[in-house]
């Protein structure tokens, strides 16, 4: 999560619309013509992604939203509203504790 999760347009969309757009950007279909995958907003660890779960982080102003779903663009489940930077702070805290124990978690 070293890239900005800022996107006012996505933030203002409904949860299901924003999730579908983020999913389409991160995992474009072959015939979409997209040149690259856009993983800027993906916030799920590989273990969850491997199980079919997807979590996206979008921020705007002083707010953040975690949008989550399973097995594809049409399967939006829900969202959690946060303060801007709150998700990153929690991950850094956990990473610091893992590093203290000799294990490396996630770098943001």
pLDDT for 5-35, tens place per residue? 999 999 999 999 999 999 999 988 877 777 7
pLDDT of 89 above 80: yes
pLDDT digits (tens, 9 = 90+) for 29-69: 877 777 788 999 999 988 899 999 999 999 999 999 999 99
* Tokens found for residue 39: 């993983």
Residue 106 belongs to a domain: no
**Closest CA relative to residue 80, chosen from 96, 59, 51:** 59
Residue 86 belongs to a domain: yes
Residue 33 belongs to a domain: yes
Instruction: Please give the pLDDT value at position 104.
Output: 54
For the residues 103-108, what does the mean pLDDT come to? 51
For the residues 83-87, what does the mean pLDDT come to? 94
Residue 71 belongs to a domain: yes
Residue 60 belongs to a domain: yes
Q: Any idea how long the chain is?
A: 108
Instruction: Please give the pLDDT value at position 56.
Output: 96
* Nearest-angstrom CA–CA distance, 106 and 92: 8
For the residues 83-99, what does the mean pLDDT come to? 86
CB of 60 closer than 8 Å to CB of 14: no
Beta strands in the chain (DSSP E): 53-60, 63-70, 76-83
Q: How many domains does the chain have?
A: 1
Runs of H (alpha helix) within the chain? 8-12, 15-26, 46-50, 86-100
Domain that holds residue 85: 8-100
Instruction: Please give the pLDDT value at position 11.
Output: 97
Residue 48 belongs to a domain: yes
pLDDT of 108 above 80: no
CB of 59 closer than 8 Å to CB of 5: yes
**Closest CA relative to residue 59, chosen from 80, 78, 75, 38:** 80
């Amino acid at each position: 999560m070293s890239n900005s999760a800022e996107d006012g347009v996505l933030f203002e969309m409904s949860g299901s619309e924003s999730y579908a757009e983020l999913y389409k950007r991160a995992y474009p279909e072959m015939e979409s013509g997209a040149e690259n995958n856009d993983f800027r907003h993906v916030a799920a660890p590989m273990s969850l992604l491997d199980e079919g779960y997807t979590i996206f982080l979008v921020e705007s102003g002083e707010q953040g939203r975690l949008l989550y779903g399973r097995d594809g663009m049409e399967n939006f489940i829900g969202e959690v509203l946060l303060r801007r930077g709150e998700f990153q702070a929690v991950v850094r805290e956990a990473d610091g504790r893992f590093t203290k124990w000799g294990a490396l978690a996630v770098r943001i």
